Amino acid sequence: MKFFVKTFGCQMNEHDSEIIAGVMASAGYQQAEDIGGADIVIVNTCCIRESAENKIWGFIGNLKNLKDHKPGMILAVVGCMMQQNTIGEMLHRRGRHLDIVLGTYQQHRLPEYVSRILAGEKQIVDISEDNRDFPDSLPTMRVNDLSAQVNIMYGCNNFCSYCIVPYVRGRERSRDFGAILAEVRELAAAGVREVMLLGQNVNSYGKDLRRATPDADVPDFAAVLRAVSEIEGIERIRYMSSHPRDFSAELADVIATLPKVRAYCHLPLQSGSDRVLRAMNRGYDTAAYYAILERIRRHTPDVVITTDLIVGFPGETGEEFAETLDFVAKCRFDAAYTFLYSPRSGTPAARMDGQIAEREKKERLARLTAVQNAVSLDINRGYIGRTVDVLVEGPSKNNPDLMTGRTPGNKIVICRGDMGMVGQTLPLTITEAKTWHLEAL
């Protein structure tokens, strides 16, 4: 039988889908090229924004037609959306045609539940939060031969007031240090050159293990970075996400000593207003955030720094939004991922007074994007004439006659070449700069 995984959402979800595919393949199922060729359709869901959630329910609804035309097809829906407290009611209203519903803690059980459906069982729902037997390593079917994602922890303890993640992915759980290193060594042996260490808050790696075994010598995130840096064959190491509250001066100093790590840092800011940051429960203010940026840049002047920003948080006044514009211009990020605030049921921010109209949020987003784009272009223009190491990844999506690759700081570079260059790190001279990429033509 063949399966197809459709993924919605963030990088964490993309990697979860690689694991779901790996678990299914190791149970003997084959991956289908497209949804039409699949006997088992698996939808990996995301609930971070309301608009995404509506789109996903629409997609799940359309699968009913597919199933009607292909009796025996198994539909499985997994991931964050299934872990929300409204799921029972939603399944009753919109998900009666689903065969398997799994939350974020039970996805590794999918082959077992597929067998039970094949044996005649009706809709199986498992959204249990019991993760005691969650394996430390799972088979993974990777989509990229050069760059791989590796989970180092799951869940989050931060409870930012707008965020649903701690409710659907649970509290922080660090993965075993040895299992992480074993996975990266295996990837290096298979030819992978770059790893992205994943977690909702990678900086707090090990804290839960230390609480559980206070006398043991448990490694922290800096130790993970040091150990992964020593693995031969891995040229570049990135990490996501990194919370400013836990980004200590010591961590910045350690990263500065690691050439494979120090070229790139993603540090979510979210707002440039101290009052809004407090309301978001972010645990830092703009002065503390800026001090981290200065420390990172003092060590590594041409480091690439990106961020996340939310506009239209409840109660955000025009003045507070203007503070964000000013602070973003001052920080000079290489790029920012900007989002409209989206109320999520069950989070404190969804119940706050002062919810802002969509139109106003969109206007603010456009102004913020204009400020950031001008900074991004200005920084990128500084690369013209410089020669940078580019790891060539493959043909450009927009123009298959050209190739695409990335600098150590993760900037996209479009260049001439052929498939023989894929996997090579080449010194290329930048000839042109755009807002979101560089060109070496």
Sites of contact with ligand SF4 (CB under 6 A): 156, 158-160, 163, 165-166, 200-201, 243
CA separation for the pair 292, 297 (Å, rounded): 9
Closest distance between ligand SF4 and the C-beta of residue 325, in Å?
A: 22
Give the Å distances, CA to CA, from 393 to 205, 329, 383. 30, 32, 20
User: What phi, psi does 194 have (nearest 5°)?
Assistant: -135, 135
Closest distance between ligand SF4 and the C-beta of residue 267, in Å?
A: 12
On whether the CB atoms of residues 379 and 437 are closer than 8 A, the answer is: no
Query: Residue 31: beta bridge partners?
Result: 3
Closest distance between ligand SF4 and the C-beta of residue 18, in Å?
A: 20
Query: If you search the block for the tokens 């004439």, which residue do you land on?
Result: 385
Q: Return the number of the residue (308 or 363) whose C-beta is nearest ligand SF4.
A: 308
Closest distance between ligand SF4 and the C-beta of residue 27, in Å?
A: 31
Give the Å distances, CA to CA, from 433 to 284, 408, 411, 429. 34, 17, 11, 11
CA separation for the pair 216, 227 (Å, rounded): 18
Q: Return the number of the residue (243 or 260) whose C-beta is nearest ligand SF4.
A: 243
Closest distance between ligand SF4 and the C-beta of residue 169, in Å?
A: 8
Q: Return the number of the residue (146 or 311) whose C-beta is nearest ligand SF4.
A: 311
Q: Return the number of the residue (104 or 300) whose C-beta is nearest ligand SF4.
A: 104
Q: Which of 60, 51, 48, 50 is nearest to 6 (CA)?
A: 60
Burial (CB < 10 A; 0-12, 13-18, 19+), residue 204, is buried
Please list the alpha-helical segments (H only) found in 347-423: 358-381
Q: Return the number of the residue (165 or 311) whose C-beta is nearest ligand SF4.
A: 165
Q: Return the number of the residue (200 or 372) whose C-beta is nearest ligand SF4.
A: 200
- DSSP annotation of 160: -
On whether the CB atoms of residues 390 and 402 are closer than 8 A, the answer is: no
Closest distance between ligand SF4 and the C-beta of residue 280, in Å?
A: 8
Q: Return the number of the residue (106 or 200) whose C-beta is nearest ligand SF4.
A: 200
Q: Please give the sequence-ordered ranges of beta strands (E in DSSP) within 334-421, or none if there are none.
A: 335-340, 387-395, 403-406, 412-415
Closest distance between ligand SF4 and the C-beta of residue 55, in Å?
A: 21
